[in-house]
Chains A and B, each alone.
Chain A
Amino acid sequence: MSLTLLNAAVAVFIAICFVGLNAAYLVWCERKGAGFYQRRPGPMENGPWGLLQPPIDGVKLMTKQLLIPGGVDKAIFMVAPVLAMFPALISFVTIPFSKNIVAHPINVGVLMIFAFAALGGMSLLVAGWGSRNKYAMISSVRAVSQTVAYEIPMLITTITIVLVSGSLNLSEIAASQLGGFWKWNIWGFQEAVGYNILMPISFLIIFVCAVAETNRAPFDLGEAESELVAGFHTEYSSMGFGLFFMGEYANIVIGACLVTILFLGGWSSPVPLGFFPFTDHVGWFLLKIYMIIFVFIWIRWTFPRTTIYGLLNLSWKYLIPISLFNLLLTAALLKVF
């Protein structure tokens, strides 16, 4: 696929629209979902079913005073929100929504997504460091230690999938799982994954890591309101805060995309019917990612926040050893079968 200038511009435009709309309306879903889990209707009065709430909040945030507290490191302070939003946007370039809908299939797509995810972790550190606030600082240290801890099992588990499909290209990983739900990597009892029955567990590991990577409850230690005011964005008002929020939701979408591509067969339909027009359609991909996002929201409003020790113990003592063992097992089984 040749990447002409027009092509690139259109791709970037679509990516920005997709990310922006998603971020705005996932906030609405979150608030509505929170309402339903707590047996209340959620936003109701502004527009039908509160559907006007995201644009209203957006306008309000944009017209609020952009406050730069005295004594902050101005350059760093202003760069951090952009740094939170930017990697999430870039990552969409390589995510394949279907066989043809992909801005630019890079042959190291997996690597690129992880590289930019690490940049997202840095934005938290920079935000906390730049805002001259001890709570923000503590929170960003927490958030970064969490991001680092959960990136390791996530990477190791991803290597398992890379071993199975023999490619770092996200399109190829997804394409190798086409042809029915029994071909998806989440199932262990098939030849493609070497009859590795631990596959559902690695799906679970990557799912947990995706929740933790995006700093969401029950792992939102960085934003523990009861201890750290508002976390690393304590000092950000107006759209600075808005960008952090949008970045978080964009990261959620990316996490859901990654889980879908690695384990749930990307755009492959659950049942292959040759004559059915929607076999292996982009609709399946969107359906899958929104179901995963629904589970994210469900988890967030169901479980209380863990402690920082519980969080780090889970990663270093359980997830990393299990994922290492899983990697070893997969490699051995692939050799055998």
Chain B
Amino acid sequence: MGKKELSPNLETVPESLVQLAVADKLINLCRANSLWPLTFGIACCAIEMMGTGAARFDLSRFGAEVFRPSPRQADVMIVAGTISKKMAPGIKTLYDQMPEPKWVIALGNCAISGGPFVYEGQYGIIEGADQFLPVDVYVPGCPPRPEALIEGIIELEHKITGWRRWPKVKPEWREDNNT
């Protein structure tokens, strides 16, 4: 993917003077369990994101259903959809407006690598959110199912705390395919 250009904000936030390991762990646990996403969807994957928040899948079980409309109050940016070149500056601005600590989830093939819109000579889209954002978790699929987004959020919690809520499930279909 080449060199990632991180937002300048990441480097300007000073480290805390007093380092307390236990308190840090506790704070990280709290941060991981109250991930408020930013309300915005760019393409079809956003529909799946809405589905994740709705009754059947219920993102709120993990305390992550508080979709904040203002970037100042959001913790995680879910890039849900195709990033057109026209939209990218707006997304970058939104990311820069979020206060630290902040995370990015790339939802769907479009946000990972451009998805179905990549072909020779394409001029309209950016091939992956990681071209201009520091992405923490990639959720593949076109579109990913809501369970996949929930798994992505649990994976992000894993990344923040170093502790996983539930053990990973080995996908069954792969074994069938291999034999």
Q: Could you tell me which A residues sit within 8 Å of B by CB distance?
A: 31, 34-35, 38-46, 50, 52-53, 55-57, 59-60, 63-67, 225, 229-230, 233-238, 241
Contacts and interface: CB of A to CB of B under 8 A. Distances in A.
Nearest 3 pairs of A and B residues by beta carbon: A230-B70, A65-B99, A59-B30
A108 B54 CA distance: 48
Contacts of A52: 33
Contacts of B100: 64-65
B147 to A, nearest CB: 15
A40 B150 CA distance: 15
A67 B9 CA distance: 12
Interface in B4-35: 13, 26-27, 29-31, 33-34
A225 B39 contact: yes
Contact of B26 (A38, A57, A59, A65): A59
Contact of A41 (B13, B58, B66, B101): B58
Interface size bracket, B side: 20 to 34
B76 to A, nearest CB: 12
B60 A235 contact: no
Interface in B27-68: 27, 29-31, 33-34, 39, 54-56, 58, 60-63, 65-66, 68
Nearest to B9: A65
Nearest to B16: A63
B60 A42 contact: yes
Given A38-B55, A60-B30, A60-B31, A43 B72 contact: no
Interface of B: 13, 26-27, 29-31, 33-34, 39, 54-56, 58, 60-63, 65-66, 68-70, 72-73, 75, 99-101, 165
Given A229-B70, A233-B73, 8 more contacts: A31-B65, A35-B58, A53-B63, A60-B75, A65-B101, A225-B69, A235-B72, A237-B73
Contacts of B101: 64-65
Contacts of B55: 38-40
A296 to B, nearest CB: 19
30 contacts: A31-B60, A34-B60, A35-B60, A39-B55, A41-B61, A44-B60, A44-B61, A45-B33, A45-B61, A46-B62, A46-B63, A50-B63, A53-B33, A53-B34, A53-B63, A56-B29, A57-B63, A59-B26, A59-B30, A60-B27, A60-B30, A60-B75, A65-B13, A65-B99, A65-B100, A230-B72, A235-B72, A236-B73, A237-B99, A241-B73
